[in-house]
Structure formats: structure tokens, C-alpha cells
Amino acid sequence: GGWLRRLRVALPGTDISLRVDVSAHELLRSVAAGRLDVAFVHEVEGCPLTLPEGLEQRVLVDREPQFISLSRDHPAARRRVVELGDLAGDPWMVDPTVDGEWDGVRRVLGAAGLNPPVLHGDYLTAASLVVLGEAVAPCQPTSGPRDDMVIRPLLGDPLAVRLLLVSRPGTDIEVVYAQLEDAYRDAARRASGYHEWLLRHRSPLARTS
């Protein structure tokens, strides 16, 4: 993505490759074992990650709200901001391989007095069910727009994650972090709903230059 392209420009001559894994703990173990130099991970609020000893971390976003993806035909899709109560009758879809996601969603729903069915499946399964109107699913606010579903913020931002860049000592983390921050800002600007959220909350990530 944008981060990888930026790194290749900023670090010419460096062998740069990307590995994607939905498990933050697996990525952290790979950094600790020397298989990766850095890992960009998210920590679900209320479900802290276990950072292997000796690793260093930088926080990109202390609290990134998680939005909700809905079918375009869902009654709540007409609203700019969705309340949890609007989704009380919907099955929720989570990926059990994403560290903390199931526990985080259950905690938030329980605190709101809701007990909807929580289904397990990967991203592609979730997207298919959301489009069909068979489920709703938490998603990153930077998720790109789609013609067959809508992405909306949740009132009060009850679901959130912390975004971390973790590295082994000796890694040129400043350059890597700067490119990640720029790539994230670009992604946020392209996601109009999230950019509006950042502006409302006066986040420095909303700046365009």
C-alpha cells in the first residue's frame, strides 16, 4: 500500500517486503525472533497486547474509533452516525483470529445491555454477509468506500483500538514512523467519514500538509 511505496522511496537500496497477518501477537513474536524489523499492529481497547521483552514501540494513534459496516438497505444506513441500539437486532460478525476483537465487541455490547448473535468469519465472509443485510461488522475507519455497503461512525465511539509501530532495537524507526504517519494521513483523508471525524476531534492527523 501507500506505506510500502513511501518506504521504498525514503530508503532506496533497502530490501523492503511486507507481511500481513491478522494476529498482532504473531507479528510481535516475529519481530522479537528477528524475522521482521518492524510491525504495525492494533491493540483492541480493553484487550492489551503482550509486548515481548526488548522491543520498542511508538504510538501512531492512541484511540482510533472503529466504524460499522452496514448494508445500503439497512434502516440505520440513512444516518450519519449510528447508535448501538440501532443494531440490536442484527447479528454481528467478528474475525476470531484478530487478537482481542471478539472480546472487545462482546464487552462493548454487554455494557450497552445488548446481546445480539456474534458470528465468526474472516473479512471476505463478513463483507458478503454485510452486503446481503445478514450481519453488521466493525471495520477500520480508513476502509475505502464501496457501492454495495456503507460505513458509519458509532455514537460515542464505543469501539476503539490503539495503533502501534513496534520494532527491534537499532531499527531506523524515525524514518519508518514518519512514512507510516504520512500514509495513514492520506488514507484518512480519502475516507471522507473518518476525515470528518478527525476534524471534529481536532486531530493533528486531519491536517493536509
For the cut 80, the answer to whether the pLDDT of residue 60 exceeds it is: yes
In tens, the pLDDT along 170-195 reads: 888 999 999 999 999 999 999 988 99
CA distances from 66 to 8, 60, 62, 83, 90 (A): 29, 15, 13, 13, 17
E strand segments, 90-136: 92-94, 118-120
As a whole number of angstroms, the longest Cα–Cα distance in the chain is: 55
Give the integer Cα–Cα distance in Å for 89 and 144.
26
Given the candidates 3.40.50.300, 3.40.710.10, 3.40.190.10, 3.50.50.60, the CATH classification of the domain at 66-152 is 3.40.190.10
2-63+160-206 has which CATH code? 3.40.190.10
Region(s) of the chain under CATH 3.40.190.10: 2-63+160-206, 66-152
CB 170 within 8 A of CB 191: no
Q: Quick one: which of 162, 163, 124, 120 has its CA closest to 146?
A: 124
H-helix or E-strand spanning residue 182: helix 173-190
Q: Residue 120, SS3? A: strand
The alpha carbons of the chain give a radius of gyration, in whole angstroms, of 18
- Please compute, for residue 205, the number of CA atoms within 13 A of its CA located in the half-sphere on the CB side: 27
pTM of the prediction?
0.91
In tens, the pLDDT along 104-158 reads: 999 999 999 999 999 999 888 999 999 999 999 999 999 877 889 999 999 999 9
pLDDT band of 1, cuts 50, 70, 90: low
**Which residues, other chains included, contact 34 with Cβ-Cβ below 8 Å and sequence gap of 6+?**
168
